Amino acid sequence: MDNRDENLVFDDGYGVEKPHRAMQTFKRMWKSVKEQHTRLYIVLGSVVCYTILSVAAPFYSAGIVNRLWENIKAANGLGVAFRVTWEQGGQEIFLLFLMYLGVWLFSTVQAFMMASFAERLSLRLRTDISEKLNRLPLSYFDRHKTGTILSYCTNDLDKMAEALQTGLLKLFTSTGLIIGSLIMMFYFHAGLTLIFLVFIALSMFVTKLFSGQTLHLAAKRQQCMGNVNALVEEYYTGRTIIKAFGQEESSAKRMRLATEELAETARKADFMINAINPAIRMVNRLGQVCIALAAGKFLIDGVLSVGAFQAFFQYVNQSAEPLTEASYMVNAMQSALASVERIYEFLDEQELEPDRKMSEKVKDAKGYVEFRNVRFGYTKERTLMHDISFVVKPGEKVAIVGSTGAGKTTLVNLLMRFYEVDAGQIFLDGKNTRNLSRKNLRENFGMVLQDAWLFGGTIAENIAYGKQDASREEIIAAAKAARVDFFVRTLPKGYDTILGNDIETISAGQRQLLTIARALLANPSVLILDEATSSVDTRTELEIGKAMKVLMKDRTSFVIAHRLSTIMDADLILVMQNGDIVEKGTHEELIRRGSVYANLYNSQFAGD
């Protein structure tokens, strides 16, 4: 189980994520943005000024309205036209304008400063994740799904950036406005404020009622969307099989049912989302009507002045909306903290053991390899390899055979230091590989894996991946040696043809040939071929075998193969079972022994 599941709880069963250690996560996030502390201080200062001006403006307007009202009554009593002059209200109105201009200015400063805050944090964390991926041991990727790792760089970071960019700023401003407005409302009239709070409590209850259903339907919609996406991917990649077995109608029916379920769920979710605002507004408007009736009576009775009456309603309007949005902002911030917490948990994963400072170095290795009493297990509780020992001389071809899961690839991974041995030593040219830096060690190796992976770019760029400064002549020479040059020249753009790992215009065998050409161009001292010919036809396999025989001359090579016919000429064959080497020798020696290898060989060639 992914350990992040243990650190998150879900509210009300509707999928609202909450951080397990909110305060620790917040403190660590604060350290992550230490270069942006000045920016945040400016934002906080702007929020304070914004709040002060927003709260002061209605209070100041109350005095202006009262003065204008008295001047209007006086002018009406004298039978003269009422006029606003600079001395009679003009100065106060201009000052009020400046206050509202300040509100706009500080609001703009907040938005501008926060616009890049979340993106800078996202960039910082994305960079940390990218660097972390290169420091993680291969065992981490064995334990975690690809989608889980990708979600750190996509979903979690996007969710965090969106919440921090909008929610954090709203949380700051809303808190200040709510507190300041309520204080001023109580100052003008406590009874009206209590009426306001009653209706706010009612609107928040309605919000809670709707939000529970909304979150439930939103989670279900995401699940339905995931099902549809999975089917689209499955049917697109498997379209040939669908047509071959005549399952077009069946697959179309499944897709139709999935899309209909998504449409129905989306309809309900959209209805709830669109219905919540009118419902809340209706409650708020009802509250405003009640407040207006009570305030009107107080105005007639002389308890409230005209200026206080209009100022009170300004406070009602500027505090009601933030109060109804409070639950959404809190949920968004909790979800953002939960996302950041997952990212930090990933960044805290155990890394590769650092290279030793006094590292030795091997350049242009001759290819002498020795395993001496090597013991290894993927976990401490379960040992896979108990005592592996063998010697490979420079230029020898070593074949590693055995059933699936016998430990063949693990043996090679130990040689490349993708995993560290638990005990024993591995030597390259007489030097302990633990004393070599990983970069230096792997510079002496070239690998061709069973999965032929091509990167986005041209054919020439893919072949030259291990030797970036290779000339076109060197690239073509490697392609010819790998028996792929003829095929490349049949393509419209030849070596400049754009490829990608998901391209389907070339066959699996042709892709494998390109990866073999890539390894050949790198010209490593030691070759590792992990089922390198598994995806090619018999004729191509024979051609590659001839080329490999020449290319592996005077070069140590490790060949993992299921087809025993391809490794009969090996200088040393290692037969593995359950992680250990049970037999070793040449083909003839192992056949004469009549044990495990002989049984494997006879089972493959029983038909012949």
- DSSP H or E segment with residue 9: strand 8-11
Q: Do strands 526-530 and 498-499 pair parallel, antiparallel, or not at all (unpaired)?
A: unpaired
Label each residue of 88-147 as H, E or C. Answer: CEHHHHHHHHHHHHHHHHHHHHHHHHHHHHHHHHHHHHHHHHHHHHHHCCHHHHHHCCHH
What tokens does 210 get?
Answer: 């709707």
Whether residue 589 contacts residue 414, with contact meaning beta carbons closer than 8 Å, is answered with no
CA atoms of 200 and 92, how far apart (whole Å): 33
The pLDDT value given to residue 608: 47
Q: Which residue has the higher pLDDT, 533 or 118?
A: 118
On whether the CB atoms of residues 219 and 284 are closer than 8 A, the answer is no
Pairwise CA distance, residues 178 & 315, whole Å: 9
pLDDT tens digit sequence for 383-421: 888 889 999 999 888 999 988 888 888 898 899 888 888
The continuous run of DSSP H or E covering 187 comes out as helix 169-188
Q: Where in the chain is the domain with CATH 1.20.1560.10?
A: 21-187+322-350
Residue 372 and residue 421 in contact, taking contact as beta carbons nearer than 8 Å: no
Report, as an integer, the average pLDDT of 342-371. Answer: 82
Q: Which of 335-339, 393-397, 450-454, 540-544 has the lowest mean pLDDT?
A: 540-544
Write the pLDDT tens digit of every residue in 282-338: 887 888 888 888 888 888 888 888 888 888 888 888 877 777 666 667 666 777 777
Average pLDDT in the 446-453 region? 77
**pLDDT at site 152:** 67
**Chain mean pLDDT for the chain:** 80
Q: Which amino acid is at 114?
A: M
Burial-class residue 193 by CB neighbours within 10 Å (0-12, 13-18, 19+). buried
Among 95-109, 217-231, 593-607, name the most confident range. 95-109
3-state SS assignment for residue 352: coil
CATH class of domain segment(s) 21-187+322-350: mainly alpha
The CATH class for the domain spanning 369-604 reads alpha beta
As given in the structure block, the two tokens for residue 481 are 């040696």
Return residue ranges of the chain for CATH 3.40.50.300.
Answer: 369-604
pLDDT beyond 70 at 237: yes
Pairing of strands 385-392, 556-560: unpaired
**Residue in the block written with tokens 């024979």:** 542
DSSP string, 563-594: -GGGSTT-SEEEEEETTEEEEEE-HHHHHHHT
Helix 248-300 vs helix 306-347: crossing angle, to nearest 10:
150
Q: Supply the DSSP string of 212-230, one letter for each residue.
A: HHHHHHHHHHHHHHHHHHH
Partner residues linked to 10 by β-bridges: 17
**b (16+ CB within 10 A) / e for 500-527:** eeeeeebeebbbbbbbbbbbbbbbbbbb
What's the average model confidence in pLDDT over 437-442?
Answer: 87
Are 328 and 284 in contact, with CB atoms under 8 Å apart?
no
C-alpha–C-alpha distance, residues 13 and 496, integer Å? 54
DSSP code of 476?
A: H
Contact 54, 177 (CB under 8 A): yes
Q: Which two tokens stand for residue 499?
A: 């490829």
* Mean pLDDT on 504-521: 79
CA-nearest of 170, 172, 178 to 55 is 178
Which tokens go with 106? 């500080």
